[in-house]
Chain A
Amino acid sequence: MAETLSPLDTVLRAGRYANTAAKIGVTLSEVSPGSIVQVAAWPDTEAKVLEGIAKTTKLKLGGEPGAGAVSGNVAAFGIAPGRFLVISEDEGLADRLLGAIPATVGSVTDLSHGRTAIRIEGEKAEWLLAKFFAVDFSKAKFPVGRGVSTNHHDVFAQIQRRTENCFEVYVFRSFARSFWKALCHGAEENGYEVR
């Protein structure tokens, strides 16, 4: 991939901000996966699509809403009935998925440029997300790997829990700067670090 420009380049400045007197509540950073790909099944081909994802990424997803998995440099989760978002640190995932999922089985849509991935990590990650999304992010209801499609007003977001205190949020690239500013603003009371 040629040199790219993130919508956050001009606003993302490493450092500690706001209520730094308190223990830093969250760390915000941009992650730049090589591939963000949507895979969608036809009504009767979901199992085959999951097979295709597993064949390509070694990730085994359950069929229940929001089910997801994280392993090594790949992750995936359900974003809608029969639809999955597959993320990899490597480029070219869409082509590899296309090899495993022909049009008769489903569709593969490369969104690597269209989504910006923001990582929210720290003890107050759930607290910060609760300011924006009406989703129960508690560990019991939203375990590691689980994902959800939701929105904060006009900003559509897909969120996956990567570890106990780490979430990745995928937003439309055009909204990313606005959403980043809102996240930083929301994180001020707990103190936040940008990496």
Chain B
Amino acid sequence: MSAIRIASGGRIDRSRAINFRFDGQAYTGHPGDTLASALLANGVTLFGRSFKYHRPRGLLTAGVDEPNALVTVLRDSVREPNVPATTVELYEGLVAESQNRFPSLQFDVSAVNQFAGKFIGAGFYYKTFMGPEFGPLKGTRFWMLCEHFIRRAAGLGRAGLAPDKSRYQRMNAFCDVLVVGSGPAGLSAAAAAADQGANVMLAEIDSRFGGSANWSGETIDGTPASAWASEAVAQLAKRSNVRMLNRTSVWGYYDTNTIAALERVTDHKPMGASGEPRHRHWNIRAGSVVLATGAFERPIVFPGNDRPGVMLASGAMRYANEFGVRTGERIAIFTNNDTAYGAALALKRTGASIVAIVDVRRDASEKARHAASECSAELLTGYAVTATRGGKMLDGIEVQPFDGQRVSGAARKIDADCLLVSGGWSPAIHLASQAGSRPVWDETLQAFLPPQPTENWVGAGAFNGAFQTADAIAEGHAAGLAATGGTNARKLTPPMVEGFAGEPNPAPVFEIKGKGKGKAFVDFQHDVTADDVRLAYTEGFTSAEHLKRYTTLGMATDQGKTSNVPGMAIMAEATGKPIPEVGSTRFRPPFAPVSVGSLAAERFGDLKPERLTPMHDWHLEHGATMYSAGLWFRPMIYGAKGETVEQAYVREAKVVREGVGIVDVSTLGKIAVQGPDAGEFLDRVYTNMFSTLPVGKARYGLMLREDGFAFDDGTTWRLGETEFLMTTTTANAGKVMQQLEYFLDVVWPDLRVHVTSVTDQWAGAAIAGPLSRKVLEACVQGTKVDNDALPFMGIVHGTIDGVNVMICRLSFSGELAYEVYCGANEGTRVWEALMAAGKPFAIVPYGLEALGTLRIEKGHVTGAEIDGRTTARDLHLDWMLSKKKPFIGSAMMDREGLVDENRLQLVGIVPLDNRPINGGAHIVEQLHEDHPMNSIGHVTAMCYSPALGKYIALALVKGGKARRGTRAYVSDPLRKRFGPVEIVSHHFFDPDGSRMHG
């Protein structure tokens, strides 16, 4: 094979040179080249090594169906392996290397594998390495030893370890009609749909719109087809209702016409513009889809069919007509249909010599004979190629007479440096198959055609089996109209198409069983031979799905675009069944490889946005160590220099007990419950009564799930006759909101109640400690805050620093405490005013650790105890279960298992060795450090209590209430913490609540 660049023709801009490197060697190409065409033009014929046998491989195709020429593209420090060289657009500075070879592509030591062919056929590793015992290597041990070497010897490219710094983006798009493919059929469909006023998207996998028009060599209405396509594209581009995406592979067809596509935005550029993504993932919702995806030519299976220099006829034709590259000097053709004669003519025009056309059919059509004559080619009808000659490059073929079934007679040698093969055409029905139906076998085309649509799509062109350009244009036009339901478009004048257009209907010949040596490959990418397919049959793997999995036929990056039908045909022959009975595997997404980056897109950060309180920046400026609570960021401690976390929270909690502290409670869920039936609604969702709550008062409430377990707690404030402000735990705000909406929408639609999240409307600060009232008195105007004006659970309205505030006296810490709410945008201002007012009282801000300490001392529960497995009784909240009314959960909360006295119940724990214990540590009755067993419960929260001067914890312990005053042990083998504890009441501090009521 001695390829060269021809002087003119194609899309190549010969006036400009592009420098690139392949396997360390410098080359030049031109704008418009792919890596494959440029290398070919530079005389490179060896592109890679095969998957298993490491056989030398050249180009088979010129497009996305390429199975052999996989390369690794290196950009900066990132390696992208397994990219077909046929799809890599050339750019200045491109660096690529071949793969699956050592030490070099020319000399690959693993090529020795091909001599072990009989021993490493399909599934050899199952039989050879799994099961047998070699000395001490029993069971799977022997496989585990060999696996490493097998995996190293076989495979594709090697991914890099450097992080990919490229940007990937996700786009949503909507259109009335999505046209997939921009060949003559697609362009015609897009124009017809656009004429109807439809919003049209046109997606083309290649860099250049036009599909086969770019290389067919035909003329359409007297204009070269490529120019006709360019004009059609230019016309579409002018329309405001058409969006055109080139370099975009539509790879997935999902329910209700949701389509996935990948746009390669910067792969063809030396460097993207600022902010430009490398790839875009398009999520397209299309009203209807026109599938004009064309067809793939397929090879014929014969011995030696993988030798570099053997390629598909359409590929060579494309290189000649589109890229201006002649693939050989002495070219032979091997075909079972007429289309390859067009390739012969195209290559002849490049100056190549067509040495022979070998046609398996006894009679070629008149058109084909004429073409052969025009090429001055020897026409060998009723012949087949039975062997190829050469090393890493083809230098000849052998042909023998062929009767449609078998070869006979003596082999004749023909010198050739390039063999173009055509085994017929397979419509690219992948997307239609993904959309849900089984393909249909067509005897005339010897191919699977698209099924009847189950989604709203229309097919056109070669996809439908309409291979002639005029037919494709007409079908495209009809499809565009059908997709829009339109009828009033201008009538299509059938175009005049001239050029050689051979009939694609092939003789039903898929394999030539030559007598010569040499493997006959079905799947080039995974080194699956015809013998492998027959081996699968022999071993019982006869269905299409089993065949695929046993031999790996049709797997890997090309997904069997060239191999599936020949593989099915060989299996059909082996089983004696017709091909449609053997079936075809269902095509699955993706149609072509998709970058994982595009699927993740830039959502990795968006998936966990930061949720900030109004005072967030203040906390940072004042030394807070923040940590995340769900999506929220909350201060953990405001540590002084040199303080440990424990020292900081102990200091903060101590100040609250003895003076006054302030904590940001803006994260609490806040839900406006409004409407004439709001009180009734709250009576139903809370275990206790709210309809009787006076305006200007708040009440602590508990919610159960419908199954009777505790769900969430919080205070709800009555702001008006028909308006309540419900607060929830930070963690459960969303769940409570959903639950309330569900009840109103589904269970009680008759209630006139609205719920609205107002969490972000209010900034909240809790002022806690014996001096908290003094702080408020120093800064609140417009209302008194003494015990009469603002009793426990009372609400007043006033101003602080001119800002309207709402103050409720309630306590989570157990101290005299108030929650001050104001509009969120004024939160920092009010917070700073409170800090200023508290300065004379040595107010300190405190974080979640101190907040947790204060609540543990009081025995108040949080999500650690309301964990979805505890009941109100378990948490000693049974006093909140109203007996006067039903409520959510009341019907189920008295089930036998939920009232068992031996359930896990909330207790206090005091470690008798006064050392810290961790949340999650087990409580056991007997200590067995080496064999921990018989857990009776677990620790839910712990702290050092400044009020008590020792470590304390809360725990859930079986029959905990009855165990108060008894001893047990903490058993935490993970952290090796063991020791005696005393089980006590969960009310460690101020059990009668006198401090917060004072």
Residues of A within 8 A of B826 (CB): 1-5, 113
Q: Is A23 among interface residues, defined by CB-CB distance under 8 A?
A: no
How far does the alpha carbon of A11 sit from the alpha carbon of B801 in the complex, in Å?
Answer: 26
Interchain CB contact under 8 A, A5 and B829: yes
Closest to B171 in A: A130
Interchain CB contact under 8 A, B609 and A113: no
How far does the alpha carbon of A109 sit from the alpha carbon of B674 in the complex, in Å?
Answer: 9
Interchain CB contact under 8 A, A107 and B760: no
Interchain CB contact under 8 A, B829 and A42: no
Q: Is A15 among interface residues, defined by CB-CB distance under 8 A?
A: no
Interchain CB contact under 8 A, A22 and B273: yes
Interchain CB contact under 8 A, B174 and A141: yes
Interchain CB contact under 8 A, B617 and A112: no
Interchain CB contact under 8 A, A179 and B617: no
Residues of B within 8 A of A182 (CB): 602, 605-606, 609
Interchain CB contact under 8 A, B675 and A103: yes
Q: Among A109, A136, A173, A175, find the residue whose CB has the most chain B CB atoms closer than 10 A.
A: A173
Interchain CB contact under 8 A, A7 and B612: yes
Residues of A within 8 A of B632 (CB): 174
Q: Is B607 among interface residues, defined by CB-CB distance under 8 A?
A: yes
Interface residue from A4, A131, A179 paired with B171 (Cβ < 8 Å): A131
Interface residue from B609, B612, B762, B827 paired with A153 (Cβ < 8 Å): B609
Known: A21-B273, A107-B754, A174-B632. A2 touches B829 (CB 8 A): yes
How far does the alpha carbon of A41 sit from the alpha carbon of B270 in the complex, in Å?
Answer: 58
Residues of B within 8 A of A190 (CB): 275
How far does the alpha carbon of A178 sit from the alpha carbon of B759 in the complex, in Å?
Answer: 17
Interchain CB contact under 8 A, A113 and B760: yes
Interchain CB contact under 8 A, A103 and B674: yes
Q: Is A18 among interface residues, defined by CB-CB distance under 8 A?
A: yes
Interchain CB contact under 8 A, A130 and B609: no
Q: Is B694 among interface residues, defined by CB-CB distance under 8 A?
A: no
Interchain CB contact under 8 A, A189 and B277: yes
Q: Is B592 among interface residues, defined by CB-CB distance under 8 A?
A: no
Residues of A within 8 A of B169 (CB): 131, 186, 189
Interchain CB contact under 8 A, A113 and B823: yes
Q: List the count of A-B residue pairs having beta carbons below 8 Å apart.
A: 151
Q: Is A14 among interface residues, defined by CB-CB distance under 8 A?
A: no
How far does the alpha carbon of A134 sit from the alpha carbon of B609 in the complex, in Å?
Answer: 18
Residues of B within 8 A of A6 (CB): 825
Tell me the chain A residues, 1-37 only, with Cβ under 8 Å from chain B. 1-7, 10, 18-22
Q: Is B803 among interface residues, defined by CB-CB distance under 8 A?
A: yes
How far does the alpha carbon of A109 sit from the alpha carbon of B170 in the complex, in Å?
Answer: 35
Query: Chain B nearest CB: distance from A3 CB in Å?
Result: 7
Q: Is B113 among interface residues, defined by CB-CB distance under 8 A?
A: no
Residues of B within 8 A of A10 (CB): 617
Interchain CB contact under 8 A, A177 and B760: no
Known: A19-B274, A103-B675, A110-B761. A185 touches B752 (CB 8 A): no
Residues of B within 8 A of A111 (CB): 756, 758, 761
Interface residue from B274, B672, B752 paired with A18 (Cβ < 8 Å): B274
Query: Chain A nearest CB: distance from B728 CB in Å?
Result: 15
Interchain CB contact under 8 A, B617 and A174: no
Interchain CB contact under 8 A, B825 and A107: no
How far does the alpha carbon of A104 sit from the alpha carbon of B678 in the complex, in Å?
Answer: 12
How far does the alpha carbon of A176 sit from the alpha carbon of B763 in the complex, in Å?
Answer: 15
Interchain CB contact under 8 A, B602 and A21: no
How far does the alpha carbon of A173 sit from the alpha carbon of B667 in the complex, in Å?
Answer: 12
Top 3 A-B pairs, shortest CB-CB distance: A188-B275, A114-B761, A4-B825
Q: Which of A's residues lie within 8 Å of B, judged by CB?
A: 1-7, 10, 18-22, 38, 40, 42-43, 103-104, 106-107, 109-115, 130-131, 133-136, 138, 140-141, 152-155, 172-175, 177-179, 182, 185-191
* Sample of 14 A–B contacts (CB below 8 Å): A4-B829, A20-B274, A103-B721, A103-B722, A113-B762, A154-B608, A172-B759, A173-B760, A174-B613, A174-B632, A175-B609, A178-B612, A179-B609, A191-B274
Q: Which of B's residues lie within 8 Å of A, judged by CB?
A: 169-174, 199, 273-277, 283, 285, 602-603, 605-614, 617, 631-632, 672, 674-676, 721-722, 749, 752, 754, 756-763, 801-803, 823-829
Given contacts A5-B825, A138-B199, 5 further A-B contacts (CB under 8 A): A4-B829, A21-B274, A113-B763, A134-B283, A189-B277
